Structure 1
Amino acid sequence: MENRFQQAAIATWIGIIANAILAILKGITGWLSGSRALIADAAHSASDVAGSIAVLAGLKTAQKPPDKDHPYGHGKAENIATIIVAILLIVVGFEIAISSIGAFFGGVTRAPGIMALVVIFFSLITKEILYHYKSRLAKKINSSALMAEAWHHRSDSISSLAAFIGIAGAMFGQAMNLPLLVYLDPLAGLAVSVLVMKVGFTLAKESSQVMLEQVLSDDEVKPIAESAENVEGVIRVDELLARTHGHYIIVDIKVSVDPSISVEKGHTISKNVKKCLIKNYDTVQNVFVHVNPYRPDDGGTVTDLSPKSKEKKRA
């Protein structure tokens, strides 16, 4: 757990430093060159800094062990951080859209200079490298917050590409005496805003589902149920509910056992089910087992299609 946090924290700090440098560089260059697209991109990078700080706080909280007030752990702190990043993206995207639309009505007098192109290209390469680095690490340590930050970088690289095209088009229009092409710069800024808001809404939706205790699908829980059913003493898995808490899963399971065994034997079986699932599934952090007396005439189970269940039904 500690190693997981350290890896994520290092990646987040790298992002904070890189984004701060890019935001300042793009902001100054955009202001000097008069590029709406570059200024919009600078605002996006600045939001990355705020988002990374939120992610860092979420990761630090998520690695705390369960306590009296939080018996299921603090894993959802990562999802809270993800939602904060998503809201920042939506707000920044909206502000970029307003600024870009205003440029159309206010008029564009000149295209940005070559320096704006150089800076935006440097930003594009840097953000794409950060995306691949954090995306791979997020998958490795199963962190939704770090994945959200990775997509924040990807959205920034896409917005940088849109800005690059817009600035290059505006410069070409000015050189060829085609005034309308100068508006490609604010048009690129508007395209950036749409991309940024779309990423924000997607991340917010995914994290909200976790916060609302959405359980895993039947296909996702079936292997877990079959593992539990193979534990000695378990006759049938009656119900299995699994929900994500950040980077880990909490499982609630009901199993049927021989009704004639002692309470102590039933308790031992429940402990073995818990040990089995935690051992076999890295993402399962805790399991709550309820023992039922086996009744053959009860309804279907979550493992009806497993070989073991079919044998019992034939018997």
Structure 2
Amino acid sequence: MVDDRLAKAQFAAWVGIVGNLALAGVKLLVGVVAKSQALIADSVHSASDVVGSVAVLIGLRAAERPPDEDHPYGHGKAESVSAIIVSVLLAVVGFEIGNSSIKSLFTPLEAPGFIAVWAAIGSMIVKEWMYRYKYNLGKKLKSQSLIANALEHRSDVFSSFAALIGIGGAIAGGWLGVPWMLYLDPAAGIFVSLLVLKMSYNILMESIHSTLDHVLHDDDTQELRQAILQVSGVTRIDSLRAREHGHYLIVDVKIGVNPHITVEEGHRIGKQVKHEIMEKFSEVRDVFVHINP
């Protein structure tokens, strides 16, 4: 199960690496030839996604390492760390795109070539497919880093759309002889930078939230509670904490049992509780049971 999850997630990461390399190269080449600041900014965004996908790939491999003496709960949070790295990379790229676009506002401009329009449209189609593929797989595998990487692709869709509007407006301005419309191309680059920065902030906040030992709310643990209470000998649940540790859960539960049974019988009930949870909930990696009289 673990090996299958890792294989699917790694394949998705490689799809992102190869796809973004190809897109970044094509958009940069077309942007330079067509003299489109918006498309060049968009190519830088795609290039940053390559680094993000590499970070995700490393995080996925680290997260699946078995527990050791220093990390008895496993390495699941490595995915959250890689998601934070992705957010920081996005922020750096967002600032760089904005800076270069603002500078271009103060240089002589000319309408970009029409080929830039087709490059932006093609990028939107490819990126939307990559977003849907990775987002759905990330939800299925409960991989925060894959979902963060998918959101990177979605931000690229928006940035390519903004670039398309800016490029189209600048081209129209050249045809119509309206000089101010030429500034729509670098203006689109600035808009792209704002989108990237917003996406970076959202990913960072979600990743930090997950890293700080987030526990499931009571509504999300009802099935766990029902499974525990169905175990013979369990009279009540005194407390239950299901901690998110990357893509899996660590469960700490205190149960009440008959105070007149033997220690051995209480131990057997505790083992049965752990067995039931591990059998019924594949997302649970480990269970710690405390017996109360």
Native 8 Å contact 2:37 2:189 kept in 1: yes
CA shift for structure 1 position 237: 0.3
Deviates more, 1:93-102 or 1:264-273: 93-102
Asked if 1:78 corresponds to 2:44, the answer is no
1:155-203 residue CA offsets vs partner (Å, 9 max, x unmatched):
1111101101110011001110111111111111111111111111111
In structure 2, the residue matched to 1:205 is 205
In structure 2, the residue matched to 1:64 is 65
**Matched residues in 1 for 2:111 and 2:225: separation?**
62
Q: Which runs of 5+ in 2 are unaligned?
A: none
Superposition TM-score, scaled by structure 1 size: 0.90
In structure 2, the residue matched to 1:98 is 99
Q: How many residues align?
A: 292
In structure 1, the residue matched to 2:154 is 154
In structure 2, the residue matched to 1:303 is none
In structure 2, the residue matched to 1:272 is 272
In structure 1, the residue matched to 2:11 is 10
**Matched residues in 2 for 1:148 and 1:108: separation?**
38
In structure 2, the residue matched to 1:42 is 43
Native 8 Å contact 2:63 2:79 kept in 1: yes
Task: Map 1:186-197 onto structure 2 (within 5 A).
Answer: 186-197=186-197
CA shift for structure 1 position 31: 2.0
> Partner of 1:285: helix, strand, or coil?
strand
Native 8 Å contact 2:109 2:183 kept in 1: no
**Matched residues in 1 for 2:24 and 2:96: separation?**
16
Task: Map 1:213-292 onto structure 2 (within 5 A).
Answer: 213-292=213-292
Native 8 Å contact 1:108 1:183 kept in 2: no
> Partner of 1:73: helix, strand, or coil?
coil
**Matched residues in 1 for 2:108 and 2:224: separation?**
61
**Matched residues in 2 for 1:127 and 1:199: separation?**
15
**Matched residues in 2 for 1:168 and 1:122: separation?**
15
Letter in 2 for 1:242: A
Letter in 1 for 2:267: H
Letter in 1 for 2:184: L
Asked if 1:138 corresponds to 2:138, the answer is yes
Letter in 1 for 2:102: I
CA shift for structure 1 position 108: 4.2
**Matched residues in 2 for 1:281 and 1:183: separation?**
56
**Matched residues in 2 for 1:57 and 1:39: separation?**
28
In structure 2, the residue matched to 1:310 is none
> Partner of 1:150: helix, strand, or coil?
helix
Structure 1 moving runs of 4+ over 6 Å: none
Native 8 Å contact 1:108 1:182 kept in 2: no
CA shift for structure 1 position 34: 2.1
Letter in 2 for 1:140: K
Task: Map 1:161-180 onto structure 2 (within 5 A).
Answer: 161-180=161-180
Superposition TM-score, scaled by structure 2 size: 0.97
**Matched residues in 1 for 2:137 and 2:108: separation?**
43
